[in-house]
Structure 1
């Protein structure tokens, strides 16, 4: 497996872990009785973090690869 593929796999796993953690937090907050709007905001923040991480990782890989 190439270094680039390992890096993408690592980013994907990290994204899955972040979303799973946010899902657990949202579930706990909903059980406690906080609003659905707050839960959606938390989930949106998680998606933004994962998307940003993917963009940064792909731009770093583009800089590292010789052309």
Structure 2
């Protein structure tokens, strides 16, 4: 761990954290954080004026794929 994992983490992962929009401790095992993000996305998708706020956003209809 001390010879390979920790130095690689310090060199690559740690510096990229400053560019992250969201950091979830414990990743996918953090069910509270995952549910909060899902709820936020559902709320944003339910807003009808998103195309005015984000002109590059295009919501496509779901398909049976």
Q: TM-score range by the shorter chain?
A: 0.3 to 0.5
TM-score normalised according to structure 2 size: 0.32
Task: Specify the structure having the higher radius of gyration (Cα).
Answer: 2
The structure with more helix, counted as a fraction of residues: 1
TM-score normalised according to structure 1 size: 0.32
Structure having greater relative contact order (Cα 8 Å, sep ≥ 6)? 1
